[in-house]
């Protein structure tokens, strides 16, 4: 390359370098900075050496540089200056990139915040749906539309109060209480599967059709299972009564959290305002929760409290201020249902509720339910098969379940009634297979009959709401040493039954002059049953008297009643259930105290119900006339 070409190339590079410096710094900034560094006149010079010296002062930011480069050094100096300028450009590019990313991030955050505000506004005005939620909703709708079959229990459930079998008195009591201008709170007691829940569901609609009913057409019926309700001592979550979601807890709305405002959440008692709150299995609720429910029943509202609530805060919404200052309305009628005894309910709550008792279903009523359900299933059933069901359960729901099981078994075995007819038949043999596969046992396996036995008597007991017949037997031997006889009795029978033994022994000595200490006496409650009350006192007396005097007793009759030291029979509880148990055992007669005699026979026309006020009236029901004449009673 010749000198002229080299000079031309240097001029071109220098010109390009000057142009690039101007673009990097900008014209105004370069002029200012070059002026401060005493490089402006040098850069504007027409001599390359002076221009390069000015650029060195500018780029190196060193005004002390004074020696201009020689002509042979131009290329090297330009290369150095280009390197410095490239570094500056790289640094500036990086800074600009970072600034851009920062601005972009800030814009994203700002946009996100604006989007959340927009979503909140859209949610308040037009709902919370989006493509994802709508897709999930459509999927859920398809799942609801697809089902294996309709529940047979649901199909066979009564749809009118008249279809509830065997509970006419209970249904009438329930509806009449709700139809009152001042309907009370109600607790339904009774065994499972007899129609308590169904009656509660249907009662409201029945009452709404009556003139003067306090329930409006749109009165709510809120149903909840008491077994699922638990009292939260922290009071963070209470689906029954309601709770307050404080700002620090998850659950309060974001708009309230940011302002530090607590948000009350209404419970089921407020949802039931103006209608009925039905709590199934209310006996399973915590006593603490029952007590808190009692407070709501008295105040007819739920009071909320929170340390985060500031009544002077102008950011508190009106509805939250109203709930904290006046409480949430909760004026409803409570209907509770339980299979447990009244003692399982808080005494304070129980005292404020009217009681309605649903009775065990009789065998005839169970048969009626079975035949009615079979007709609705287009299923033929032999009368003996229905009688079998009535001997193994006193619950309508279980009876229907057994019928449904038998239906499936009939389908499996492909049994038909006649050629070409597509109606299945449930025979007694088929039902026996179903009972065996479900491990069912007879409700009362006690053997009774038209016979007499010495030292054996049948007593009536009750477990929950189901009556049963108890076998009490006694065996007496002359004591090895007179006056030193021993008495043995079931440890599992309970202390009350043991006390009845000593009462019977004293009464025996008082009436016959026989001292029980002259005998070794062994009493036994067959099956180890627990007798939690004195109602077996009369039966224990008869068993001891029969064993000691060797007098046979009738085995087709049972007795219940507490016996006093004066030989009187005292009133006992659970008499309807006890008579039901006697009916299941096939007994022809039961003897009860006079105080239990009113109206007990209306549901049991096929069993004789006699009353005996004292021992003298009791003995003829169990002893033959000849034995009575031989027995010397004072």
Weakest mean pLDDT among 335-349, 447-461, 479-493: 479-493
Residues 556 and 610 in one domain: yes
Residues 591 and 509 in one domain: yes
CATH of the domain at 256: 3.40.50.300
Residues 435, 393 contacting (CB under 8 angstroms): no
Residue 324 has pLDDT above 80, yes or no: yes
126 inside domain: no
The residue out of 381, 412, 437 marking a domain boundary is 437
160 inside domain: no
Residues facing 188 on adjacent strands: 337, 356
- Pick from 454, 432, 440, 426: nearest CA to 370: 426
Residues 16 and 84 in one domain: yes
- Determine the Cα–Cα distance for residues 246 and 394; give it in Å rounded to an integer: 50
99 inside domain: no
- Pick from 390, 357, 445, 365: nearest CA to 174: 357
Residues 234 and 297 in one domain: yes
The tens digit of pLDDT for each residue in 353-375 reads: 999 998 888 888 889 999 998 88
The tens digit of pLDDT for each residue in 257-290 reads: 555 678 888 889 999 999 999 999 998 888 888 8
The residue out of 94, 117, 135 marking a domain boundary is 94
Of 535, 550, 564, 589, the catalytic one is 535
Residues 394 and 528 in one domain: no
How large is the average pLDDT for residues 37-55? 78
Residues 376 and 325 in one domain: no
The residue out of 50, 67, 94 marking a domain boundary is 94
Is 535 in the active site?
yes
Of 196, 368, 549, 578, the catalytic one is 578
152 inside domain: no
- In sequence order, what E strands does 339-482 have? 353-357, 380-381, 425-426, 452-454, 456-463, 466-478
CATH of the domain at 377: 1.10.8
Q: For residue 387, give its domain range.
A: 367-437
Output the pLDDT for position 185.
93
- Pick from 452, 522, 454, 450: nearest CA to 493: 522
How many folded domains does the chain comprise? 4
342 inside domain: yes
By percentage, how much of the chain surpasses pLDDT 90? 10
Q: How many Å separate Cα 538 from the centre of its chain?
A: 43
Among all chains, which residue has been given the structure tokens 């047979």? 152
Residues 174 and 323 in one domain: yes
- Determine the Cα–Cα distance for residues 555 and 588; give it in Å rounded to an integer: 10
- Determine the Cα–Cα distance for residues 536 and 575; give it in Å rounded to an integer: 13
Residues 609, 590 contacting (CB under 8 angstroms): yes
120 inside domain: no
Residues 221 and 261 in one domain: yes
Is 578 in the active site?
yes
Residues 400 and 480 in one domain: no
353 inside domain: yes
Residues 562 and 533 in one domain: yes
Output the pLDDT for position 83.
78
113 inside domain: no
Q: Is 214 buried (19+), middle (13-18) or exposed (0-12) by CB count in 10 A?
A: middle
How large is the average pLDDT for residues 498-518? 86
Residues 580 and 433 in one domain: no
pTM above 0.75, yes or no: no
Residues 404 and 260 in one domain: no
- Determine the Cα–Cα distance for residues 467 and 394; give it in Å rounded to an integer: 10
- Look up residue 172 and give its two tokens: 């009438």
């Amino acid at each position: 390359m010749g000198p002229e070409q080299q000079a031309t190339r240097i001029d071109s590079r220098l010109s390009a370098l000057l142009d690039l410096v101007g673009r990097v710094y900008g014209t105004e900034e370069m002029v200012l900075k070059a002026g401060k560094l005493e490089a402006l006149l040098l850069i504007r010079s027409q001599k390359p050496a002076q221009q390069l010296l000015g650029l060195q002062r500018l780029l190196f930011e060193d005004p002390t540089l004074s020696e201009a480069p020689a002509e042979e050094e131009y290329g090297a100096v330009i290369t150095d200056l280009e390197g410095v300028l490239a570094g500056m450009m790289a640094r500036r590019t990086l800074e600009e990139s970072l600034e851009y990313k920062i601005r972009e991030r800030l814009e994203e955050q700002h946009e996100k915040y604006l989007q959340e505000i927009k979503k909140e506004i859209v949610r308040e005005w037009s709902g919370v749906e989006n493509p994802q939620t709508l897709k999930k909703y459509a999927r859920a709708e398809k799942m609801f539309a697809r089902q294996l079959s309709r529940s047979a229990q649901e199909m066979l459930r009564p749809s009118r109060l008249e279809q509830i079998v065997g509970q006419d008195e209970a249904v009438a009591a329930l509806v009449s209480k709700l139809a009152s201008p001042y309907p009370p709170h109600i607790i339904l007691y009774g065994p499972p599967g007899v129609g308590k829940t169904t009656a509660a569901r249907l009662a409201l609609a029945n009452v709404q059709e009556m003139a003067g009913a306090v329930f409006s057409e749109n009165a709510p019926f809120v149903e909840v299972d008491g077994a699922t309700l638990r009292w939260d001592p922290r009071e963070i979550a209470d689906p029954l009564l309601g709770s307050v979601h404080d700002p620090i807890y998850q659950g309060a709305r974001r708009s309230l959290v940011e302002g530090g405002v607590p948000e009350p959440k209404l419970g089921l008692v407020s949802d039931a305002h103006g209608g009925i709150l039905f709590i199934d299995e209310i006996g399973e609720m915590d006593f603490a929760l029952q007590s808190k429910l009692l407070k709501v029943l008295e105040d007819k509202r739920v009071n909320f409290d929170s340390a985060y609530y500031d009544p002077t805060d102008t950011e508190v919404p009106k509805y939250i201020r109203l709930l904290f200052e006046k409480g949430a309305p909760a004026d409803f009628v409570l209907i509770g249902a339980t299979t447990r005894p009244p003692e399982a309910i808080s005494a304070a709550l129980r005292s404020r509720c009217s009681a309605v008792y649903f009775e065990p279903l009789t065998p005839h009523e169970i048969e009626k339910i079975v035949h009615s359900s079979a007709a609705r299933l287009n299923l033929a059933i032999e009368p003996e098969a229905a009688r079998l069901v009535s001997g193994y359960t006193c619950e309508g729901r279980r009876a229907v379940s057994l019928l449904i099981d038998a239906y499936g078994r009939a389908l499996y075995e492909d049994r038909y009634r006649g050629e070409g007819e597509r109606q299945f038949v449930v025979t007694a043999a088929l039902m026996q297979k179903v009972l065996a596969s479900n491990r069912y046992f007879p409700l009362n396996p006690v053997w009774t009959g038209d016979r007499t036995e010495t030292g054996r008597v049948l007593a009536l007991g009750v477990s929950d709401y189901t009556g049963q017949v108890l076998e009490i037997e006694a065996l007496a031997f002359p004591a090895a040493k007179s006056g030193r006889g021993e008495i043995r009795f079931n440890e599992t029978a309970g202390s009350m039954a043991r006390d009845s033994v000593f009462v019977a022994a004293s009464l025996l000595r008082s009436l016959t002059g026989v001292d029980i200490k002259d005998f070794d006496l062994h009493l036994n409650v067959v099956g180890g049953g627990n007798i939690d009350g004195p109602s077996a006192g009369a039966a224990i007396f008869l068993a001891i008297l029969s064993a000691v005097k060797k007098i046979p007793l009738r085995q087709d009759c049972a007795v219940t009643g507490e016996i006093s030291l004066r030989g009187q029979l005292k009133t006992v509880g659970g008499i309807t259930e006890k008579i039901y148990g006697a009916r299941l055992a096939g007994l022809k007669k039961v003897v009860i105290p006079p105080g239990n005699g009113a109206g007990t026979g209306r549901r049991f026309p096929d069993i004789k119900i006699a009353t005996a006020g004292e021992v003298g009236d009791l003995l003829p029901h169990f002893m033959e006339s000849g034995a009575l004449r031989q027995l010397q009673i004072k």
